[in-house]
Amino acid sequence: MGEIDPPTPVVQRRRLRIELRRARLDAGLTQEAVADAMEWSLSKLIRIEAGSVNISTNDLRMLLHKYQIEDAARTRDLVALARAARERSWWSGYRDIIPPQFFQFLEYEAAASIIRNFEPLLVPGLLQTEDYAAAVARQWGDRSAADRSDSLVELRMRRQDLLDRANPPLLFFILDEAVARRVVGGKAVMHRQIRQLVDMADRPNVTIEVISFGVGIHPGMAGPFVIHEFPDAADDDVLYLESQGGVVRQDSADEISSYREAFEQLRKLSLGTDGSVAYLGKLAEEMI
């Protein structure tokens, strides 16, 4: 087994904000009291504890002193977390063409050890061919997005590098039959895309299952979702829901649990692994 990749900055930032919130509560302090003592705006502390902004090492040391944390080892660990949270990732170069929520999504995706993804309409980004991705980018982009469609497709292709890592994540995809039946980019593009799904399903870490139209109404019809699970037990799962405006993260443990259960229900409703691959292979032959 290969070495575990270091956590991405967003995971480090998430760990840090959990530690800082716990330290403040252990010290018996409110956010308002800490903000006043640090001469910060309340919104700054709220953003730090939410993990939406970084904190400098100097500010962190003063904050830890306020929380009466004097242990050198713990201070050193938290400072290391703060530094790691500010590191740049390869996708930082695309920050100006993607919304913040999707940027954060990429960070969690890169750090995940298990990814569960249900899609009712389109092939998941991690499985798309370049031609398919380009057709999606052209169709859904406005004028400004069309001008940057090449960069968006490039980003999507680079995301797939995680499939070839020494220690790739386990990937579970459930697709509604509409995903395979909808012709995106023309028949030739769709044929290559379906063949790619068949080839991807042959990888030992990739599972692709299809829910046929005959199932009727099912739990996934509310919309696409992705659940990221991480190798460190201290890092809770993260749920992303896709909407017209982008992706929205959900941190509620109860909600994540309900979607995890829904995912398993969808697997039971699917054609199964072998049946799904057989169906996709037959569909690819029909498109020749």
State the pLDDT at residue 4. Answer: 47
Please state whether the predicted TM-score (pTM) of the whole model is above 0.75.
yes
State the pLDDT at residue 7. Answer: 64
Q: State the Cα torsion 28-30-33-35 to the nearest 10°.
A: 120
State the pLDDT at residue 140. Answer: 65
- In angstroms, the CA 151 to CA 17 distance is 32
Residues of the chain with CATH 3.30.870: 98-286
State the pLDDT at residue 86. Answer: 81
- The residues of the chain scoring below 50 in pLDDT are 1-4, 142-144
| Class of the CATH domain delimited by 9-85 | mainly alpha
State the pLDDT at residue 129. Answer: 97
State the pLDDT at residue 183. Answer: 95
- In angstroms, the CA 5 to CA 48 distance is 25
- In angstroms, the CA 56 to CA 33 distance is 20
- In angstroms, the CA 135 to CA 187 distance is 12
State the pLDDT at residue 244. Answer: 66
Residues of the chain with CATH 1.10.260.40: 9-85
CATH, domain range 98-286: 3.30.870
